[in-house]
Each structure stands twice: as C-alpha cells, then as structure tokens.
Structure 1
Amino acid sequence: MSSGTLPGLPIVDATTPAVLVLPGPVTRDETPRLCAEVRARLAETGGGTVVCDVAGVGPPGLAVVDVLARMQLTARRAGGRIRLRDPDPALCALLGLVGLAFEVEGQAEEGEPAGGVEEAVESGDPAL
C-alpha cells in the first residue's frame, strides 16, 4: 500500500528555523530589505531563530557588520534571534572585535564540550 502526498502546505517542525541566504556583496543599502525579510521569516515561524547563511557575503567589512547588527536588533525586537551559518573566520573575528556576539551553527554552547569530544576517565575514579 502506498500513500500519496496530501495537498496543501508541507508540515514544518516548529523547531526548524527559517533560513535567509545573504547574497554577496552585502551593502548598507540592503539593510531595510533584509530587516523586512527577518521580520517576515519570524512572523511565518512564530518567532524563534532565523538562520542567516553568510557564506557568500563577500569580504568582511563594517558594512556587513552593520547589516548583521541591524538584522539582530530587528530579530530581538520581534522576539527572535539570528544564528549565522558558514561565517568566514575573519567575519567572526571582526564581529568579536566590535563587540557583537552571534550564535554560530555547529558551535558548541558556552560551557559545553565540542561535538565528538569525550571526557577522559582516570583509573581509580569512583564509578557514578
């Protein structure tokens, strides 16, 4: 027995974040449009997180930092947040230099070990 697809909208898990791909190069002129996109994605998903794929934003500069900061502010005002996907290490360094903290996909939470890391057990340690 086979089942066909049902008509209508696909079912989306509430934990699946919306994804916004930032085209490169990003300029400050695009800020209003990108902020509107963030608001729309958060409205579609009922809040939560918007994942911004920043792999193609071009060389990191203050224009990119400004756009990302305004997008983060827009998301926070709408009750959400921004998570970066595939940021260039230079962009992460620049964001840190100006004091902006963004969550990055695949990055371990603060206080959590990185994925695939196991704690060592010393011989003589009591079993828990």
Structure 2
Amino acid sequence: MTGVELVLAALAAGAAGGITEATSSSIRDGYATLRDLLRAKLSSQGGEAAEVLEADETAPGVFEARMREYIVGSGADQDEAILEAARRVLALLDPSGNEQGKYTVDAGDAKGVQIGDHNTQTNTFS
C-alpha cells in the first residue's frame, strides 16, 4: 500500500469507525494523533488543505481526491511519523486485517491497479 493510500485508509477507517465516547481511548488517541500530525504537515499547503481535513465527508470521493492531492503535495505520504500513526489507527480498528498484512501492499511500478476495498475501475482502450 502506498503512503497516500495508507493515510487515506486510516482517515476513512477512523471516520467510519465512529470515533465517539464509546470508542476506546487508544483508538481515539491514535486517530487524534494522526489528524494532528496531518494538520501540521498540511499547513505548508495553505489554509484550504487544513479545511479539507476538518470538513465532513459529505462527498467521500471528493474528499478523497482533494486529500490525496494535499497529502502528496505536502509530502505527508513520505513522513514516517504520519505513516506510523496511520498504521496504528488501522491496527487498532482492524487487528485481524493488520495481522494478515492487509495494509502492507507493495504496488511499485504497477499500472492500472487499485488498492483497497470496494473500488471501481473503468478502462477504455483505443
């Protein structure tokens, strides 16, 4: 899994996991740490990047596309502290998937590949 995919997966899992009072403190803390690290890194991209992070995911596809751009643009996808925080969130929310290596995918030099669950891809060849 690429750095950007890892961070996006952790953000989505944390949001979908319903970080509430009933959620364990370790999950809440891990998700908060990831968001704090991202917020600091995204501040180099200007105010809009941080606003996107804080926005509700009313349109997940739009949120993901915009966050992907900001994560790559800021270098957050290469920041080891951010990547470790993302791995921790995923491990806490999905321990069995983490143990099975679900979040460790190497797709270097791959083309036309999607990583993650429930993707849709349309290829048009001419």
TM-score, L = length of structure 1: 0.26
Higher strand share goes to which structure? 1
